[in-house]
């Protein structure tokens, strides 16, 4: 009899090569956390700084985008059950981030009006290609991973630090799965490779956009967010605590590694990305990783 593969928690895994999301689900159940795992009773009001409030509000606005993003992914990948199932799992975890930050903000004596978070509900239009949509999410998750990790290291208020550490781990796992699905999409449609390279360049290709998140490009100018903290303020605080720029450098390094693996080009700096895009446009043979 064939031995049954199990998850780290000892749960038998569904053996279906077309259901990668089932393995993700099992793995996430072992690695994930719930709101009751946060040490809420350890909250220290005396350690909350004004900039922490601004950061939390920006994080809440950014994370509240999850409903629109999940809606968009389910629409764009309506033909793909496996990825759609992953999108639901991902969305659930992102909602938890949003609610955890909301609860912390409430403990700190502040709040965000419902209309502000509700303004993020409008769904995104489909991407240029499905691979480009997935690649955008890779970037989003990697940026969030490093932002949360960096701020957590600098955070003295224990509850917010705990939330950030938990959320950072989630975002890193999400990034890996979006890489998996991007690779799967490119295997089926290699002609979408150029759009993946272009996505990396659009969001990461200019120095003026350091410490900036793709959500800001799409929804930073919503009328409901005028004079309100947004994800830009969250990343501005990331830039403030990342004094040496070392975490940003790690973030970029991770993205170059992921996109090198996805596209087959050796990418270590943005000039490599520009050359790769030019190669794709010219139709000449690419240099392999």
- What are the tens digits of pLDDT across the range 87-107? 999 999 999 999 999 999 999
pLDDT of residue 124: 78
pLDDT of residue 266: 96
Residue 2 pLDDT more than 50? no
In a domain, 225, yes or no: yes
Note the pLDDT tens digit of each residue in 127-157. 899 999 999 999 999 999 999 999 999 999 9
In a domain, 256, yes or no: no
In a domain, 276, yes or no: no
pLDDT of residue 13: 62
- Which of 257, 269, 258, 267 minimizes the C-alpha distance to 288? 267
pLDDT of residue 56: 96
pLDDT of residue 29: 82
In a domain, 248, yes or no: no
pLDDT of residue 74: 96
Mean pLDDT of the chain: 89
Note the pLDDT tens digit of each residue in 189-215. 999 999 999 999 988 886 556 777 777
* CATH code, domain with 171: 1.10.620.20
Q: Residue 251 in contact with residue 142, Cβ under 8 Å?
A: yes
Note the pLDDT tens digit of each residue in 8-64. 656 666 566 778 898 888 888 888 899 999 999 999 999 999 999 999 999 999 999
Number of domains in the chain: 1
pLDDT of residue 285: 55
Expressed as residue numbers, the domain containing 92 is 40-242
pLDDT of residue 218: 64
- Which of 151, 35, 38, 59 minimizes the C-alpha distance to 110? 59
59-86 mean pLDDT = 94
In a domain, 95, yes or no: yes
273-277 mean pLDDT = 95
In a domain, 253, yes or no: no
In a domain, 277, yes or no: no
CB atoms within 10 A of CB 29: 13
pLDDT of residue 174: 97
Query: Please, which pLDDT band fits residue 1 given cuts at 50, 70 and 90?
Result: very low
pLDDT of residue 30: 82
Q: Residue 217 in contact with residue 162, Cβ under 8 Å?
A: no
pLDDT of residue 220: 58
In a domain, 72, yes or no: yes
Question: How far is the CA of 264 from the CAs of 135, 186, 275, in angstroms?
Answer: 14, 11, 13
Note the pLDDT tens digit of each residue in 212-248. 777 766 655 666 667 767 778 888 999 999 999 999 9
pLDDT of residue 7: 57
Share of the chain above pLDDT 90, in %: 68
């Amino acid at each position: 009899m064939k031995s049954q593969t199990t998850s780290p928690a000892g749960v038998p895994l569904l053996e279906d090569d077309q259901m990668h999301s089932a393995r993700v689900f099992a793995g996430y159940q072992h690695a994930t956390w719930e709101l009751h795992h946060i040490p809420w009773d350890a909250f220290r009001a005396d350690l909350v700084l004004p900039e922490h409030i601004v950061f939390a509000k920006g994080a809440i606005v950014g994370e509240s985008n999850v409903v629109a993003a999940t809606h968009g992914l389910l629409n764009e990948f309506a033909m793909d059950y496996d990825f759609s199932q992953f999108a639901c799992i991902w969305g659930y975890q992102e909602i938890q981030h949003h609610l955890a930050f909301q609860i912390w903000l409430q403990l700190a004596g502040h709040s965000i009006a419902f209309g502000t978070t509700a303004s993020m509900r409008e769904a995104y239009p489909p991407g240029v290609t499905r691979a480009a949509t997935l690649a955008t999410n890779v970037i989003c998750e990697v940026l969030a991973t490093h932002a949360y990790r960096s701020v957590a290291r600098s955070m003295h208020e224990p509850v917010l630090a705990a939330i950030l550490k938990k959320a950072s781990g989630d975002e890193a796992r999400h990034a890996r799965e979006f890489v998996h699905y991007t690779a799967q999409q490119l295997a089926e449609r290699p002609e979408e490779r150029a759009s993946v390279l272009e996505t990396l360049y659009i969001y990461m290709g200019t120095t003026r956009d350091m410490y900036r998140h793709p959500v800001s490009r799409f929804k930073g100018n919503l009328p409901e967010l005028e004079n309100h903290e947004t994800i830009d303020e969250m990343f501005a605080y990331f830039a403030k605590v990342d004094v040496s720029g070392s975490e940003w450098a790690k973030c970029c390094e991770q993205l170059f590694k992921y996109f090198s693996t996805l596209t087959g080009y050796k990418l270590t700096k943005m000039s490599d990305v520009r050359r790769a895009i030019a190669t794709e446009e010219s139709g000449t043979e690419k240099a392999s990783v």
